[in-house]
Structures are given as structure tokens and as C-alpha cells.
Structure 1
Amino acid sequence: MRLILSVLLCLTLLQACAQAETPSPCAPVLHLNQPYTVCSFPPDAQARLWLSHPDGAPFGQFDRLAAHLESRQETLLFAMNGGMYHQDRRPVGLYVEQGSQTAPLVTRAGPGNFGMLPNGVFWIDADGTPHVTESLAYESLAPDPTFATQSGPMLVIEGKLHPNFNADGPSRKRRNGVGVATDGTLHFAISDVPVNFHSFATLFRDELDTPNALFLDGVVSKLYAPDLGRNETGLDMGPIVGVTIPSESD
């Protein structure tokens, strides 16, 4: 019996050590007494954007994207909706995938959250480094991204909150966004309860240390984090942003 207990203890310790070596990229964060889930990655993580399946139809759901990637020996580690879109799932603003631009940059003011200037662009350069840049600054920079998605409003611009945000703002929705910290860490966050823009933006500024952060969407905000048992469904999405790793071979 003692031998069996010793073996079980060793197996338990080995399992715990293995889990410690591969921690989940996503974790709960409590900010201003509101719960969020934050998924964080090093600058060299394989972050990407996807819109359409090779059959031409939008992926729409995380499961469909994950199955496609699995067929290519890739595992979808994390994903969330990656920007606003029209009814036919076309991106509202700039969209670049694998170096191919399918929608142009929009710099004029307009209705809705997207048009609440300044808005911005989440983009990944040819070296795989992620960036968040205000749209006019992006236009002046004129980079050649491998991936890019435009959304709005900006949450944090050069360390300051968007000027239109109010701490007492009454509009409370489930929201998701992205920011790059001063040390290069890529942070994605989603609120687990309805929050206003101001609260959401202070999460990026004060907790995640991101000098620039971008709102991706609200209401339809969804998360794919299998390590947390989360694979949220609902209305089909347009662009999806995520991180992949190579699938383990047998």
C-alpha cells in the first residue's frame, strides 16, 4: 500500500510540475471590482488574423477555425473576435491578412464606436512583432504589415485615455480589446460583466501597462480559451484574432 501511495504521489507531483511548465496564457483579473479575463503573450508569439475559410465563407465560429488549423498541424491556443464588421462579415476598416489588404484604412469620423476618433489599428509586422497604433499615425507611418485590423475607439493613446471617456459613462457592455505593454507583452482582455469604456480603458493603462490599446468590439465579444474551458458561441463573427502553436506530433 505504501508503494502504491508513493507512486501516486510521484505521479501527482509530475503532473503538477508539467502543468507549472506550461501555464495557461489566460487568467482572471479583478479591476475596479469588475472581473476580466486577460490573455498575455510574449512579443514573438504566433499572433494572427483570420477572416475566411479556404472555401470562401467566413470562419464565423472558433470551432470552424480550430478544425481548419488542426488540419494544418496547428493548434489554436487562444482567439477572440478581431474587430468590427458589416452584416456580410466584411471588416469595417483596414484589414490585412498574410500581407494582402482586402479593406482600406478609414480615417474620417463616423457613427458608432468605430467612428469615435481617434480609432486605431492592431497590426503585426514582417518580423512578427505586434503593434497598436492610432489610425492617423498609422497612415503617416505607412507600414507594410503581415496582419492588420482597424477598430475603434482607441482605449489608450500614448498613455492617456481616449478624451471622450467618462468615468460615469452609462453605456455598459461586455467588451474586448488589445494592447502592447512597454516590455512588448501582447495583452488581450475581455470583460466578464458589462463595463463602460472608461473602466475598460483603465484596465489597459493601469493594470496592463499598455501605452496604446484598442477596443475591438462589444456585445458580440467572445473568447476561445480551451485551457479555461471557454469556447463561446453565438452570432457568426467577422475577423478573428488568435495565437497558434504547432500541434504535437504522435
Structure 2
Amino acid sequence: MRWVAALVVCASPAAAVTCEDITHLGASFTVCDVTTDDDLQLFLRDDAGDILGSFRAVEAASGKNLLFAMNAGMYHDDRDPVGHYIEDGVEEMRVITSDGPGNFGLLPNGVFCIADTYTVIEARAYAANPPACTHATQSGPMLVIDGALHPRFIDGSDSRNIRNGVGTTADGQTAHFAISNDAVNFHDFATLFRDVLQTPNALFFDGKVSRLYDAASGRSDFGFGALGPIVGVLDDASAAD
């Protein structure tokens, strides 16, 4: 069994999303598993083109309740995506393959692609052979690349933050979304995906602003400002039902 310690909470029968609290290297994490049976989507703007920015706004715009949601990629001050972004097959931002400042530019970075399966792909490989993603979001750095940790991560680093990210199984049938409930460094966060969740590829979404929505447990994180891209699963039933 992969979990060190777990508290299982089950979502409504409308979807198979489950979130569990686990302990890894002395830190607490919440891991949410989303399978290809779930209608996983990205959300950025409402019908008027305005940034949604919050879990509540996603529900209001869709008319449905969220089962699960998480911030999903870095964004500028105006909440536009820093990197590649596709929603419902429409590309808003191209793939960025150059290095640069900050965590996003700490190459290799990557793209989380939602199609018939879920994949995390290194950004330059993605740009060289773009898959047909219904939804896609770019962030960085990669946490795990083909089973190896990002080469710049330092074991024991004192750079610690609340962090969140996603890893995908080798068969592409499940995406494991994780958020740390304690401040952790990149190395320890990455080993969660490599050693515990056993995902061959995993991608960092963000730190400090990391937030999670889990309807089954009643968790809805809040912060001091709007978000950019959000990934989530809506209930099949309308919010009014």
C-alpha cells in the first residue's frame, strides 16, 4: 500500500474524485486522485472574458458545484497565464521554451495535458510534437522527469513553502494532485511524486498561493487575492439541484 498514513474521504457518486491526507518525510500533504472517468477541466475566464479567479466564481459561471479544484499554473499580475494555456481546445498562450527567472524558468519545465488520458510532458518535447490536448497548462519546474528528480533540487534546502502540483500515472489514467499542508522544499515535494505516488512525470504548479477545494471533506482554501488558471471537476448536477 502506497500511503504512509491516510484519511480517506469519498466524493459524491457523480465522480470518483478522492482526496487523502498523508504524511511524507514528516510533512502533511493532501493528495487528490482524478481518473479519466472524471470530467477534468481548466477554468480561466467567464463568458464575458473576465478572469474567474476563485473556486466560487467557477461554480457561479458554470451553474454547477465543484467536486474538486486547485490552482493550476503560474500567472501574471493581471491573472493571465505565464505559459502555455489551452481551454476547451482553444489556445490562449503559446508554449514558452526559453529559460528565465523564477521557478517557471527553472528548466526543464512542463505542460499538464488533459485529453483522453492525462500526461505531464517536458515543455520542449511538447513544443516539438504537440499532442491534441483539450486542456493544457504550463508551469515549472518539472518535479519528476522520466522517473528522476529535477537536477537543480537540493536535499535539505531551507527554501520552504506551501506547494502544489500534479503527477500522472504511466498509463495516463490517473492524475495525482498534491498540496502540502506544511511548508516543504522542492526536493521533498518531488520525492512525494516519485517515491510515494510513483508518477514517472510530475509538474510544480505554484507555491505560497496554493489552494485546494474538496467538496467531500468541506475544504475550501482561501487567500489574499484572485487566482489565475484553475483545474477542477464539476458535479454533473446543477448547483440548483
Corresponding residue for residue 202 of structure 1:
191
* 1:174 matches 2:162: yes
Write the deviation string for residues 138-177 of structure 1: whole angstroms up to 9, x where unpaired: 1122222111000000000000000000111111000000
Q: What CA distance in whole angstroms lies between the structure 2 residues aligned with 1:38 and 1:139?
A: 29
Q: Percent identity?
A: 52
Shift of 1:42: 1.7
* Cα 1:81/1:111, change in 2 over 3 Å: same
Secondary structure of the 1:227 match is coil
Matched, 1:77 2:67: yes
Distance 1:59 1:20 in 2: 24
- Give 1 or 2: higher helix fraction: 1
Alignment correspondent of 1:156? 144
Say which of 126, 132, 138 aligns to 1:144.
132
Q: 1:31 aligns with which of 24, 36, 40?
A: 24
Read off the aligned partner of 2:120 and give its amino acid letter: V
The answer to whether the 8 A contact 1:24-1:227 is kept is no
Deviation at 1:67, TM superposition (A): 2.2
Aligned to 2:33: 40
Deviation at 1:24, TM superposition (A): 6.1
Q: CA deviation at 1:230?
A: 1.1
State the Cα deviation string for residues 30-61 of structure 1 (Å, max 9, x = none): 11111000000222321110101112211111
2:235 equivalent in structure 1: 245
Q: What CA deviation, in whole Å up to 9, does each residue of 1:88-126 have, x standing for no partner?
A: 00000000011111111000000000000000000112x
**What code does the residue aligned with 1:233 have?**
F
Map 1:2-41 to 2 at 5 A: 22=13, 25-41=18-34
* Residue 53 (structure 2) aligns with: 60
Segment of structure 1 superposing worse, 59-68 or 31-40: 59-68
Inter-partner Cα distance in structure 1 for 2:31 and 2:47 = 30
Q: Distance in 1 between matches of 2:186 and 2:162?
A: 10
The unaligned stretches of length 5 or more in structure 1 are: 1-18
| Partner Cα separation in structure 1 for residue 58 and residue 192 of structure 2 | 29
TM-score, structure 1 normalization: 0.86
Runs of 4+ in 1 over 3 A off after TM superposition: 19-24
SS at match of 2:127: helix
Read off the aligned partner of 1:179 and give its amino acid letter: G
Q: Which has the higher strand share?
A: 2
Q: Distance in 2 between matches of 1:179 and 1:20?
A: 20
| Secondary structure of the corresponding residue to residue 191 of structure 2 | helix
Question: Structure 2, unaligned stretches of length 5 or more?
Answer: 1-9
Structure with the greater alpha carbon radius of gyration: 1
Pair 1:182–1:28, CA change in 2 (3 A): same
CA distance in 2, matches of 1:171, 1:153: 15
Corresponding residue of 2:104: 114
CA contact (8 A) 1:175 1:219 kept: yes
209 and 87 in structure 1: CA distance in 2 versus 1, 3 angstrom threshold: same
TM-score by length of 2: 0.89
